[in-house]
Amino acid sequence: MTKLTLGSYPHLLGFEQLERLLERTAKTGAEGYPPFNIEQTSDYSYRITLAVAGFRDGDLSITVEDRQLVIRGRQADDLGERVFLHRGIAARQFQRSFVLADGVEVGEAIMENGLLHVDLTQAKPEAIVQTIQIKKG
Q: What is the pLDDT of residues 38-97, one digit of tens each?
A: 999 999 999 999 999 889 999 999 999 888 999 999 987 666 677 889 977 766 899 999
| Whether the predicted pLDDT of 131 surpasses 80 | yes
pLDDT value, residue 40: 95
List all residues 6 or more positions away from 73 whose beta carbon is below 8 Å from its beta carbon: 34, 52, 55, 59, 60, 61, 93, 94, 95
Pairing of strands 94-99, 104-112: unpaired
pLDDT value, residue 29: 55
Mean pLDDT of 25-50: 85
Whether pTM > 0.85 for this model: the answer is no
Domains and CATH numbers, the chain: 31-122 (2.60.40.790)
pLDDT value, residue 91: 67
Per-chain mean pLDDT for the chain: 84
pLDDT value, residue 52: 92
pLDDT value, residue 62: 97
More confident: 119 or 19: 119
Contact 57, 115 (CB under 8 A): no
More confident: 10 or 44: 44
